[in-house]
A = this chain, B = another copy of it.
Amino acid sequence: MNEGLPRISGPPTLEDVAWTAGVSRATVSRVINGIRNVDLEIQERVKQAIVLTGYVPNQAARSLVTRRTGAIALIVSGAGGGEDDSFPHRVFADPFFGRVVGGVVGFLRPLGIYPTLVFADTPQSRDQVIGYLRQGNADGAVLVSIGTEDTLPKLLADTSLPAVLFARPARPIPITYVDVAHRTGGKLAADHLFARGCRRLATISGPLDVPAAQDRLAGFQDAMAVHGHPYLPCAEGNFTLSSGEVAMERLLAEHPDIDGVFAANDLMAQGALLVLRQHGRRVPGDVAVVGFDDSSAALACRPSLTTVRHPVEDMAAEMGRLLLTHIERPDQPVTSRIFEPTLVIRESA
């Protein structure tokens, strides 16, 4: 072990370690990459040399030859036609995205891999993203896309880069995704409201061009039809708190005798709660309210919100798992996974 000899300059390289340990680069490489067939004594010597030199492998050099970066992209893609510049600022206003990001990060972190956070809302930024990916900056991507007009899932699928979507794409494309059984969720809400005696129900839906919103509504309506209530007032919102307020106002104006409301997400339910209180309705006494998601908003509500749990963190973790599988075996067929929602009963219904 050629200990005290002077090194040239810059950070230590494999060569330095090899020289220090008195072996070849290849052997050091083997030890580092955990390949067997290396004498135990030599392994020890190499390990010492690594510590001695303070060596860390250079990722760029490694990537160049392995054609793997060890990085994955986490893309948040909006439908935006490029109106304004506030997209990154708006995204996290909905607790939903924080949960996705948290779930992905939480899963990847123990593996020592950190996602690259990519936002794409304009057509221009979508191209930029594809370019970025084609430069080989990531081995794959998980994508959460909002709005139905988003072309990125398609573009991504065309790159033949491993990718996994959050939520089934509006138009069918051959790509792996994770989703929750939205219809079941709607049914859960309907059954609960019906069981607690509500008979004059209404619903605040999400934007009806979004599959998830359609399905939540359909699940709710179908279940209520089974209970003998085929026609229900419905106001369309856009998943924001204020749209929930507007919708609730309308519903209340048109149907003052409402005794139960299902909102397609917690934020809109929160808005509904505020409006109901303003109108002097007691919740759940006069009107019962059920939300969807079980986001942090559900707990911030007063009364706290009974809601359908969307297991976003688990789903995000599964996205990560599926992506890693795809990267491992790029030829594997696309396989999606649907999670089951559950009802979380709190004070509002």
| A contact residues vs B (CB 8 Å cutoff) | 56-61, 63-64, 69, 71, 73-74, 85, 87-93, 95, 97-99, 101-103, 105-106, 109, 112, 114-119, 125, 128, 131-132, 134-137, 241, 270, 274, 277-278, 296, 300, 302, 313
Chain B residues, CB < 8 A from A300: 241, 270, 300
Chain B residues positioned under 8 Å from A91 (CB to CB): 98, 102
* CB atoms of B89 and A99 under 8 A apart: yes
Contact between B106 and A88, CB atoms less than 8 A apart: yes
**Shortest Cβ-Cβ A-B pairs, 8 listed:** A92-B98, A60-B63, A88-B106, A88-B102, A60-B64, A88-B105, A89-B102, A59-B135
Task: Known A60-B136, A135-B57, A300-B270; judge A128-B112 contact (CB<8 A).
Answer: yes
Which residues does chain B contribute within 8 Å of A296, judged by CB atoms? 93
When A59-B135, A60-B64 are in contact, do A114 and B112 touch as well, CB less than 8 Å? no
Which residues of B lie under 8 Å from residue A97 when comparing CB positions?
A: 92, 98
A116 touches B114 (CB 8 A): yes
Q: Within the complex, what minimum Cβ distance (angstroms) separates A280 from chain B?
A: 14
- Nearest Cβ in chain B — how far from A248, in angstroms? 13
A134-B97 Cα distance, complex, nearest whole Å: 30
The complex places the Cα of A102 from the Cα of B274 at a distance, in Å, of 28
Complex CA–CA separation, A76 to B338 (angstroms): 31
User: How far is A89 from B278 in the complex, measured between Cα atoms in Å?
Assistant: 33
Residue among B101, B114, B115 making CB contact with A92, cutoff 8 Å: B101
Looking at the complex, which one of B85, B88, B103, B128 makes contact with A88 (CB distance below 8 Å)? B103
CB distance from A181 to the nearest CB of B (A): 22
In whole angstroms, how far apart are the Cα atoms of A88 and B106 in the complex? 6
Residue among A88, A90, A102, A131 facing the most chain B CB atoms (10 A cut-off): A88
Does the CB pair B106–A85 fall under 8 Å? yes
B136 and A58: CB pair below 8 A? Answer: yes
User: CA of A86 to CA of B13 in the docked complex: distance in angstroms?
Assistant: 37
Known: A92-B95, A98-B98, A313-B89. A58 touches B135 (CB 8 A): yes
